[in-house]
C-alpha cells in the first residue's frame, strides 16, 4: 500500500504541474462551493454541449460559452497538423464527444506527442460556436487565452487493446474491462440507463412503487430446476430447491453447514416476493438481477440477467380474456417508454434521425463478422418502428390459435379442437418446414415463435392462454378447460428477431386450486400439513386475497430489441454465461 506521501509524490511527479502547457501555474479543476447548497459537480461534456446547442439554462448556463471552461475526458481521436491539432474528447456522458482545437503555437511539442487515443486529459479553453459541420460547439485551447492541456494519464498507443479500427464482439468480450470505452458498449450502457429512467417514470406515473426483493431465496419460482445454489465457500452446497420447498415438519433438521439453516439459491425471478408486497402496496415493480443455470449458449441467454417485474392487485376482468388487462399494461408501458426513442423527423435518413442518439448509434453499428447484413438490419429497424407507429393494439391470439396457424402453414391436419380462425391470417402458398411439429400441448419452439412474429404478423404478438401443463403453478386456471385441455390465464409477448420479450399472467388466487397446482408441481404433498415451506405464499390468498397479476420482461432482450443488438452479451456491461465469467 502506498502512503499518503508516496501517493502525493507520484501524483506530482507524473501529474499536473509538469504537464501544464502554458506554464502559467496550476490549473484549478473546479471552483469549490462555499456551502453544500451551492455544490455542483463540474459539467460533463453532454451538459456543456446541451447548453451550447440550446442556449438554455443548464448546469453552467449560457455563461459556459465564450468563457474559459475546464473539461476532462479521454482522447477518442486526434489529428495533428502544423499549427493546430484537432482532438475529439469523450467523457462517456454522450455519444458525440467534444471537438477540441488545440492551437499548437506555444504548446510544447512533447505534450502533443503524448496525446494519443485513450489518454486521459484535462483541457482548459473556450467553448465557441463551431464553424465546422457535425458539432454545434467546440473547445478552443489557446495558451494565449489562458488555455491549458494537462495529461492526467498516458495511454501507450502500441499496446492499448482498444485500437481505433473496428473490433469484433468476440475480441471485446475478451477485454470486458475495457470494452465500455467503445462507442457501441458505451451507447448500450447509456441506453440501459435511459430505459431504466423512462420505465421508472412510467411506473411512477401509473402509481407503482419500486421495491427491492431478495436475491438469495429458498424457492425456484419458475420450477424449471435451473437454480444456482448458494453456500459458504469450501462447504458443500445443497442439492436442489425442491428439498426446501417440500420441507415439512417431519423433514430432517437443517444441516449445520447451511448458512441460512436451509438450502439457499440465487433467485430466478422476484415474482413470488413481489406478490407479497403487491398484496399490501397494490402496485409494485422491481428491476433486479436474476440467475439461471441454463447451459444454453444462444444469443438470447445469459446466466445473470436483469428483469423488470411488476405485480399489481385488484385486476379486473372485463370483456375478453382474463389476461387481456395484463397485456394492456405491458403494451402501454412499452409504447410509452420505447416509442418516443424511435421517433424520426421525415427530413433525414432513418438512422440519423432517431430521437435517441444512443439507439441510433447502436443501430448503425456493424462489424464484418456480424450475422445480420446491413439490409437485414434496415428491415428489422423498419419492423420495430412500424410496431410503435401503429395506433392499433398489437395482435393477440390464443395458444390454440397459434398452434392452428402453425399446423396449417406446415400443411399438417387440423387438430380436433384446435380450429379457431384468426382474422386476416392466410395460409402461405408454400409449405413451411418446421424442425419440431407444432402440436397442442407441446411447447412453442423458437422456430414457431419466430414464424409467428416475423412472418405471420411482422409485429409484436401476444400469445395467450397456454396449456396448464406447460406453465408454472402460480398461473390462474381458466374457466371451461377440461382435463388435458385446461389452460391458464397467461401470455408470452413475442417480438420479431428477439422471440419472447415478456411473460405474464393472472395469478391463481383461489386457495384450493392453487394448492392443487402446487401438489401437481411437486412443491407440497397432498396430505394436510405438508405445505409448511409454502404456507407464506398460501397466506397471501388466505388473508385478504385479492385478484392480482404480473409480468416479467428480460431487460437485456429489451435493449437488444430497441438497439438492434445481435447478442444479449452486448446488452449488459459484464456478461456471464455458461463457461464464461471474466472479472
Ligand X SMILES: NC(=O)C[C@H](N)C(=O)O
Binding site for ligand X (CB under 6 A): 269, 271, 309, 490, 503-505, 550-552
> E-assigned strands of 81-164?
84-90, 98-103, 120-129, 137-141, 148-153
C-beta of 287 vs 405, nearer to ligand X: 287
- Packed helices 357-364 and 555-563: angle between N→C axes, nearest 10 degrees: 80
CB of 310 to ligand X, least distance (A): 8
C-beta of 27 vs 523, nearer to ligand X: 523
Q: Give the number of residues written for the chain.
A: 583
Distance CA 229, CA 220 (A): 11
> E-assigned strands of 409-516?
461-464, 490-495, 499-506
Local structure of residue 477 (DSSP, 8 states): B
| Helix (H), strand (E) at residue 337 | helix 324-338
Nearest-CB residue to ligand X? Answer: 552
CB of 399 to ligand X, least distance (A): 13
Residue 361: partners with Cβ closer than 8 Å, 6 or more residues away: 95, 183, 184, 187
CB of 499 to ligand X, least distance (A): 14
C-beta of 503 vs 547, nearer to ligand X: 503
For residue 277 the three cell numbers come to 408486497
C-beta of 354 vs 490, nearer to ligand X: 490
Q: Where are the alpha helices (DSSP H) in 431-490?
A: 446-450
CB of 355 to ligand X, least distance (A): 30
Local structure of residue 580 (DSSP, 8 states): B
CB of 298 to ligand X, least distance (A): 19
* 451 dihedral zone (left: phi>0; alpha: psi -120 to 50; beta): alpha
C-beta of 102 vs 498, nearer to ligand X: 498
Query: What is the number of H-type helices and E-type strands within the chain?
Result: 16, 17
Q: Which of 271, 221, 257, 265 is nearest to 240 (CA)?
A: 265
CB of 326 to ligand X, least distance (A): 8
Local structure of residue 517 (DSSP, 8 states): H
CB of 503 to ligand X, least distance (A): 3
C-beta of 241 vs 504, nearer to ligand X: 504
C-beta of 97 vs 552, nearer to ligand X: 552
C-beta of 551 vs 555, nearer to ligand X: 551
| DSSP code per residue over 175-221 | TTTTGGGSHHHHHHHHHHHHHHHHHHHHHHHTTPEE----SEES--T
Residue 358: partners with Cβ closer than 8 Å, 6 or more residues away: 95, 187, 188, 190, 191, 194, 563
C-beta of 322 vs 552, nearer to ligand X: 552
Distance CA 17, CA 349 (A): 47
Q: Up-side HSE of residue 41: CA atoms within 13 Å toward CB? A: 7
Distance CA 491, CA 330 (A): 11
Query: Do 536 and 279 form a contact (C-beta atoms < 8 A)?
Result: no
CB of 458 to ligand X, least distance (A): 24
C-beta of 148 vs 475, nearer to ligand X: 475
* 324 dihedral zone (left: phi>0; alpha: psi -120 to 50; beta): alpha
CB of 8 to ligand X, least distance (A): 52
Distance CA 227, CA 216 (A): 11
Residue 457: partners with Cβ closer than 8 Å, 6 or more residues away: 395
Distance CA 228, CA 238 (A): 10
Distance CA 319, CA 322 (A): 8
C-beta of 46 vs 300, nearer to ligand X: 300
C-beta of 194 vs 271, nearer to ligand X: 271
CB of 532 to ligand X, least distance (A): 24
Amino acid at each position: 500500500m502506498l502512503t499518503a506521501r508516496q501517493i502525493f509524490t507520484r501524483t506530482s511527479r507524473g501529474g499536473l504541474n509538469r504537464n501544464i502547457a502554458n506554464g502559467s501555474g496550476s490549473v484549478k479543476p473546479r471552483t469549490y462551493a462555499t456551502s453544500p447548497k451551492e455544490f455542483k459537480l463540474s459539467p460533463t461534456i453532454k451538459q456543456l454541449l446541451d447548453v451550447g446547442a440550446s442556449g438554455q439554462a443548464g448546469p453552467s448556463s449560457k455563461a459556459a460559452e465564450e468563457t474559459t471552461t475546464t473539461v476532462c475526458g479521454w482522447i477518442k481521436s486526434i489529428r495533428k497538423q502544423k499549427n493546430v491539432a484537432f482532438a475529439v474528447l469523450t467523457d462517456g456522458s454522450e455519444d458525440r464527444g467534444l471537438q477540441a482545437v488545440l492551437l499548437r503555437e506555444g504548446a510544447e511539442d512533447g505534450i502533443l506527442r503524448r496525446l494519443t487515443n485513450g489518454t486521459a486529459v484535462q483541457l482548459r479553453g473556450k467553448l465557441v460556436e463551431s464553424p465546422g459541420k457535425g458539432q454545434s460547439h467546440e473547445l478552443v485551447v489557446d495558451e494565449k487565452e489562458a488555455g491549458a492541456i494537462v495529461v492526467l494519464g498516458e495511454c501507450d498507443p502500441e499496446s492499448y487493446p482498444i485500437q481505433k479500427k473496428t473490433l469484433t464482439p468476440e475480441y471485446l468480450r475478451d477485454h470486458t474491462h475495457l470494452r465500455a470505452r467503445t462507442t457501441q458498449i458505451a451507447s448500450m450502457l447509456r441506453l440501459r440507463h435511459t430505459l431504466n429512467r423512462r420505465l421508472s417514470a412510467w411506473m411512477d406515473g401509473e402509481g407503482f412503487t419500486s421495491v427491492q426483493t431478495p436475491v438469495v431465496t429458498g424457492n425456484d419460482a419458475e420450477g424449471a430446476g435451473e437454480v444456482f445454489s448458494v453456500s459458504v465457500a469450501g462447504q458443500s452446497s445443497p442439492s436442489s430447491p425442491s428439498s426446501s420447498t417440500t420441507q415439512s415438519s417431519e423433514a430432517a433438521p437443517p444441516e449445520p453447514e447451511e448458512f441460512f439453516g436451509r438450502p439457499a439459491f440465487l433467485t430466478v425471478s422476484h415474482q413470488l416476493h413481489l406478490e407479497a408486497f403487491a398484496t399490501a402496496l397494490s402496485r409494485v415493480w422491481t428491476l433486479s438481477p436474476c440467475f439461471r443455470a441454463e447451459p444454453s449458449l444462444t444469443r438470447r441467454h445469459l446466466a445473470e440477467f436483469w428483469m423488470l417485474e411488476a405485480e399489481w392487485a385488484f385486476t379486473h376482468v372485463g370483456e375478453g380474456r382474463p389476461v387481456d388487462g395484463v397485456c394492456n399494461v405491458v403494451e402501454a408501458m412499452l409504447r410509452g417508454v420505447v416509442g418516443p426513442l424511435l421517433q424520426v423527423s421525415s427530413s433525414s435518413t432513418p438512422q440519423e434521425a432517431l430521437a435517441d442518439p444512443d439507439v441510433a448509434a447502436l443501430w448503425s453499428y456493424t462489424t464484418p463478422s456480424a450475422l445480420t447484413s446491413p439490409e437485414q438490419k434496415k428491415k428489422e429497424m423498419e419492423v420495430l418502428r412500424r410496431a410503435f407507429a401503429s395506433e392499433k393494439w398489437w395482435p393477440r391470439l390464443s395458444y390454440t390459435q397459434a398452434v392452428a396457424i402453425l399446423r396449417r402453414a406446415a400443411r399438417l391436419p387440423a387438430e380436433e379442437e384446435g380450429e379457431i380462425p384468426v382474422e386476416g391470417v392466410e395460409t402461405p402458398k408454400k409449405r413451411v418446414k418446421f424442425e419440431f411439429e407444432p402440436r397442442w400441448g407441446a411447447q412453442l419452439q423458437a422456430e414457431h415463435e419466430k414464424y409467428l412474429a416475423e412472418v405471420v404478423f411482422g409485429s409484436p404478438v401476444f400469445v395467450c392462454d397456454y396449456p396448464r401443463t406447460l406453465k408454472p403453478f402460480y398461473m390462474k386456471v381458466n374457466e371451461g378447460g377440461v382435463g388435458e385441455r385446461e389452460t391458464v390465464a397467461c401470455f408470452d409477448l413475442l417480438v420479431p428477431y428477439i422471440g419472447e420479450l415478456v411473460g405474464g399472467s393472472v395469478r391463481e388466487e383461489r386457495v384450493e386450486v392453487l394448492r392443487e397446482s402446487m401438489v401437481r408441481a411437486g412443491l407440497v404433498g397432498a396430505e394436510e400439513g405438508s405445505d409448511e415451506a409454502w404456507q407464506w405464499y398460501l397466506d397471501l390468498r388466505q388473508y385478504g386475497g385479492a385478484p392480482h397479476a404480473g409480468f416479467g420482461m428480460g431487460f437485456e432482450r429489451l435493449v437488444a430489441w430497441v438497439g438492434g443488438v445481435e447478442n444479449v452479451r452486448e446488452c449488459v456491461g459484464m456478461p456471464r454465461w455458461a463457461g464464461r465469467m471474466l472479472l
